Amino acid sequence: MKNEYLLLTPGPLSTSETVRSAMLKDWCTWDDDYNKDIVEVIRAKLVSLATEQEGYTSVLMQGSGTASVEATIGSAISQSGKLLVVDNGAYGARIAQIADYLNIPCSVISPGETAQPSLSEIENALSTDLAITHVAIVHCETTTGMLNPIEPVASLAKQHGKVVILDAMSSFGGIPMDIGELGIDFMISSANKCIQGVPGFGFVIAKQTELEKCKGQARSLSLDLYDQWHCMEVNHGKWRFTSPTHTVRAFYQALLELQDEGGIQARHQRYQTNQKTLVAGLRSLGFTPLLEDSLHSPIITSFYSPTNSDYQFKAFYDRLKEQGFVIYPGKVSNADCFRIGNIGDVHPSDIERLIGAIANAMYWEVK
């Protein structure tokens, strides 16, 4: 079945017809053709996409991406631990909120939603607050499209002997990185972002020695990261509780398609071309991106809303949807914006058609 419109939303996103078709079969979660031939292949493939270094392993977790973030925060930090979070958007704020829910001591570095964190502020926090054991940061802050400087932040955290947690939900698979080289201990992402699968589970790629320390620490049964991993390890791909079989099978297909495209490098190229085409096209129509070009990821872009007093996001959205494109409302607290995602089965020619559709939709009087 063909889609009636292209989702320019960063998860769920537009998937290929072949990924969607891969869901048309039911699977038994006790059999090797699911556990060994699908789940275990996915786990190994994810590790090899994340790093060339030894000592990493992966665990898949039911739920949306936030469940995997919550599983990691709730399992990795011991009763005597403390978290330092960089918050420059809704997803950084969500990590701090999870810590709060779980009664985990947490301090927050808040540069605001349109700025990157100051390294000296992080350095200062790490050298003065010796209770801090873990540092968490979001790679691409999907709130704005900001790409955070994970390399110097992780390196600083490592110099101080801290465990590093990276929310790479919206970037993994779309931006090349080696988490071993970066010194990341836990990296979290999900099925419905740059790997271009459908929603239903998240995953964590972790340094095995750090994951093993999580044993017995989880603050939730179903979100026990260690136990989930241990069950998959010992039972060759068996999930503890019902696994989202169709989503997992679709994800397997999505990984094959990532490989066919030429891997993460090639996908990154395509996303970058999408993003540059989008920004150039919208600038030519008079729109202004929220962030400076140098802060930008190729994943999603925020634009200031038109200042015309008759502009309404909903009407603009509807006119674009009629023409086959679904865009995203803004999520920045102090600026009126809309967002357009570049990820998914979306190609530069689609972005060019989108720019034409936006030009058609730019009349603001309510008719």
**Nearest residue (CB) to ligand PLP, 104 versus 138:** 138
- Tokens 């999870």 correspond to 98
Contact assessment for residue 204 and residue 68, using Cβ atoms and an 8 Å cutoff: yes
**Nearest residue (CB) to ligand PLP, 113 versus 167:** 167
**Nearest residue (CB) to ligand PLP, 11 versus 289:** 11
CB of 320 to ligand PLP, least distance (A): 22
**Nearest residue (CB) to ligand PLP, 138 versus 150:** 138
- Tokens 């700025």 correspond to 115
**Nearest residue (CB) to ligand PLP, 71 versus 84:** 71
The secondary structure of the chain in percent helix, strand, coil, rounded to multiples of 5, reads 40, 15, 40
At 314, give phi and psi (nearest 5°). Answer: -60, -40
| β-pair type (106-109, 83-86) | parallel
Contact assessment for residue 92 and residue 111, using Cβ atoms and an 8 Å cutoff: no
| Binding residues for ligand PLP (CB under 6 A) | 11, 64-66, 91, 138, 142, 167, 169-170, 190
CA torsion, ordered 242, 65, 228, 165, to nearest 10 deg: 180
CA angle centred on 111, ends 109 and 117, rounded to 5°? 75
**Nearest residue (CB) to ligand PLP, 84 versus 343:** 343
CB of 1 to ligand PLP, least distance (A): 24
CB of 291 to ligand PLP, least distance (A): 15
Neighbours of 262 (CB within 10 A): 12
Shortest-Cβ-distance residue relative to ligand PLP: 65
Residue 83: name the closest of 185, 229, 168 by CA.
185
Paired with 166 in beta bridges are 137, 187
- Tokens 């099925």 correspond to 191
* Residue 167: both structure tokens together: 């929310």
Q: Is 270 annotated as a binding residue?
A: no
